[in-house]
């Protein structure tokens, strides 16, 4: 399908179908069943089979109409591509509809207390017992795990081989006996991440994704997709535009204007890089330059939050929590946002790891 046809068909469908009075659930079903909710998904599972570049055009047309987007999050953006590439048709049939309708939420559990950047050192085990797997161990930094219905996680299934070779990927129902979620309070006071414990958790054998001991290959594919997604160009541009609109007379300072202009130029360069990565990705596999997106995208995300904190000054302190004026509102949010985004350069593989990947796979050093 060429770009003009994609734009025309998407524009027509959204213009004729979007109705703000629709319930959210009804709208999600309509998008899924039409194929325009997740246009990169294969046609067999209610997609259009479009490349990622085509999906960007569809999103632009949806936003132009002002229509609500489909459920996002880890399920549609990370689990679905993983199942298309490495899962079975039965697994796709079982999980896609729930995540597309917004009825089921998914989270990923990769990191452990002693296996973060060195992910292959994970120690959570899965031992075969009849038709099931029995899982024991601990995961940490699980984003929104307190709301998850399902998780996909890496487990060690063969401790006798090279550490990368003895890892598998499992899907686990969060309501299974033996799964315990414990909150981790962040520096900004929020509860966004968790540690999760597994104690003799029984997992049906058909919830193994891909080949036994093939989890490291799946993890590399998964993390490549995540790194593209954690370069939030659009969100960072919106945050910078909102800061310009709210900062008032602070924007008259030539040094402030220079910092804003530099950030805008850097974001434009990152946006163009993202388009190049999408154009050169094939068969659903992200280009190695996804590490560039993750590295630079999180740096710019943090830089915008740092500029907001600098402009807010003392107004960012909690003592101003009783002032509801618009300016003080954005100023109060600047400190929690700044603190929360310190994590951005760590998740999805730390930026130090991304530099190693860039030097090895792109620069050939």
For the record, the structure tokens of 273 come out as 């890089």
For the record, the structure tokens of 179 come out as 């799964």
Query: Hey, is 208 helix, strand or coil?
Result: strand
Contact between residue 294 and residue 281 where contact means Cβ atoms under 8 Å apart: no
d(CA 49, CA 73) in angstroms, rounded, equals: 20
- In 3D space, the residue among 151, 356, 341, 350 whose CA is nearest the CA of residue 232 turns out to be 341
d(CA 111, CA 298) in angstroms, rounded, equals: 19
- Concerning whether 328 is annotated as a catalytic residue, the answer is no
Count Cα neighbours of 116 within 13 Å in the Cβ-side half-sphere: 13
How far out from the chain centre does Cα 4 lie?
29
d(CA 115, CA 237) in angstroms, rounded, equals: 33
Quick one: 149 exposed, middle or buried, by C-beta within 10 A (0-12, 13-18, 19+)?
middle
d(CA 361, CA 134) in angstroms, rounded, equals: 37
What's 70's DSSP letter? P
Query: For the chain, percent helix, then strand, then coil, each to nearest 5?
Result: 55, 15, 30
Q: Which of 211, 226, 262, 299 is catalytic?
A: 226
- In 3D space, the residue among 78, 38, 41 whose CA is nearest the CA of residue 219 turns out to be 78
Element (H, E) at 183: strand 179-185
Active site residues: 226
């Amino acid at each position: 399908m060429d770009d003009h046809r994609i734009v025309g068909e998407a524009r027509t469908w959204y213009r004729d179908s979007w109705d703000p009075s629709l319930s959210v659930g009804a709208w999600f079903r309509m998008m899924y069943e039409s194929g325009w909710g997740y246009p990169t998904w294969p046609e067999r599972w209610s997609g259009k089979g479009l490349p990622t570049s085509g999906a960007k055009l569809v999103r632009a047309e949806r936003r132009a109409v002002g229509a609500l987007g489909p459920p996002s999050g880890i399920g549609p953006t990370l689990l679905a591509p993983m199942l298309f590439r490495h899962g079975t048709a039965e697994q796709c049939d079982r999980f896609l509809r729930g995540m597309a309708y917004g009825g089921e939420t998914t989270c990923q559990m990769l990191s452990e207390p002693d296996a973060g950047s060195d992910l292959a050192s994970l120690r959570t085990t899965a031992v075969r017992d009849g038709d099931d797997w029995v899982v024991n161990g601990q995961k940490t930094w699980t984003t929104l795990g307190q709301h998850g219905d399902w998780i996909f996680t890496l487990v060690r299934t063969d401790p006798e081989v090279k550490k990368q070779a003895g890892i598998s990927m499992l899907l686990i129902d969060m309501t299974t006996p033996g799964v315990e979620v414990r909150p981790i309070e962040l520096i900004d006071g929020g509860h966004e991440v968790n540690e999760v414990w597994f104690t003799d958790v029984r997992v049906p054998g058909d919830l193994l994704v891909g080949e036994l001991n093939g989890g490291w290959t799946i993890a590399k594919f998964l993390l490549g997709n995540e790194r593209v997604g954690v370069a939030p160009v659009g969100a960072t541009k919106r945050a910078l535009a909102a800061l310009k609109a709210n900062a008032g007379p602070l924007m008259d300072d030539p040094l402030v204007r220079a910092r804003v202009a530099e950030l805008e130029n850097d974001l434009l360069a990152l946006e163009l890089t993202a388009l190049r990565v999408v154009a050169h990705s094939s068969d659903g596999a992200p280009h190695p330059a996804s590490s560039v997106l993750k590295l630079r995208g999180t740096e710019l995300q943090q830089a915008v939050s740092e500029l907001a904190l600098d402009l807010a000054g003392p107004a960012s302190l909690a003592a101003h929590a009783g002032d509801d004026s618009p300016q003080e509102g954005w100023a109060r949010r600047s400190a929690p946002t700044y603190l929360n985004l310190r994590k951005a350069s760590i998740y999805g593989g730390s930026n130090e790891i991304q530099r190693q990947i860039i030097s090895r796979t792109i620069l050939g050093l």
